[in-house]
Structure 1
Amino acid sequence: MRIFGIAGWSGSGKTTLLTGLIPLIVRAGVTVSTVKHAHHAFDVDKPGKDSYRHREAGATEVMISSAARWALMHEHRGAPEPTLSDLIRNMTPVDLLLVEGFKHEGHEKLEVYRPSVGKPPLYREDSKVVAVASDAALADATVPVLPIDDLDAIARFILTHCGLAAR
């Protein structure tokens, strides 16, 4: 399973880019899964639902399943947040695992960079940034810079970089 990241500061457009890339990569015959880092406390469950009640009662894990999908919720219950490697061990193998966020982890990644966000680019400090998708010209970039709105070019770059373009 190849692992490739989409990184950048909050508000740079990572999710928008990723949701545009996934269908292009799938059309290329590549199976894809994603893992996304959330910076805030989040909940996929809703108060009043049985699964919510199970967790609130103290269950460490609650799995909910239907004919369409299943989901596993795991409560840390005071344990440290798992690393990206810990999380990946729980994923079913696919051709390409796209990682959104986790910008400080050691996997190769494409940075989504918009100067208007007001944050410094990651590519200057992170040797794992192998390309940048941006809405600006970046004269100091030492990696390929792709137009942020050219989804085809970005998808081709990722597939080629990950050795999956021949599919």
Structure 2
Amino acid sequence: MRVFGVVGWKNAGKTGLMERLVTEITGRGFTVSTVKHAHHNFDVDHEGKDSFRHRTAGASQVLLASRNRIALMHELRGAPEPPLVELLAQLAPVDLVLVEGYKRDAHPKVEAHRAVTGNPLIAPEDPTIRALASDTPLALDRPVFDLNDTVAIADFILAEVGL
């Protein structure tokens, strides 16, 4: 499976870039799935719903299905967070998986950067970052794209993964 990531510090524009890339790349006829890493506790379920009640009763996995979608929730219950490679293995085959986060993993990435955040660049210390998408010009040893130039960033990613 072809995998390419989008990384950056908080408020760098990662999620917006991911959304635009999915729209652009699927618009070209490719199938895309996404993986998003969350650094905090999150819940896609709601208190009082049957699936929530199943989970809180102790179920390890709860599969919720309808004619429109399925959702599989897996409670870790103290087990360590699975590595990205294990999560990718659970996805159905697609042309490209875009990963938001997982900045320390070895897959190729583009770094989103906004100058206003004042955060340092990750790229100078990370050879897995193949390009930057920034709202300000940068002088680096790899391509730098305008953060809003989704077409050029998509072209770069697709070329990098051989699509």
Q: TM-score range by the shorter chain?
A: over 0.9
**Displacement after TM superposition at 1:162 (Å):** 1.1
Q: Corresponding residue for 2:150? A: 151
- Which digits, 9 at most, give the CA deviation of each residue in 1:111-134, with x for residues without a partner? 001122122111111110000000
TM-score by length of 2: 0.98
The equivalences for 1:1-167 within 5 A come to 1-139=1-139, 141-164=140-163
In 2, Cα distance between the equivalents of 1:86 and 1:115? Answer: 34
Please tell me the root mean square deviation across aligned C-alpha atoms, in Å: 0.7
In 2, Cα distance between the equivalents of 1:18 and 1:77? Answer: 30
Matched residue SS, 2:63: strand
Moved more, 107-116 or 43-52: 107-116
**Displacement after TM superposition at 1:29 (Å):** 1.4
TM-score by length of 1: 0.95
Moved more, 49-58 or 109-118: 109-118
Unaligned 5+ residue runs, structure 1?
none
In 1, Cα distance between the equivalents of 2:60 and 2:100? Answer: 25
- Which digits, 9 at most, give the CA deviation of each residue in 1:119-160, with x for residues without a partner? 211111111000000011112x11100001111111111111
- Which digits, 9 at most, give the CA deviation of each residue in 1:23-61, with x for residues without a partner? 110111111000000111000000000000000000000
* Percent of residue pairs identical: 53
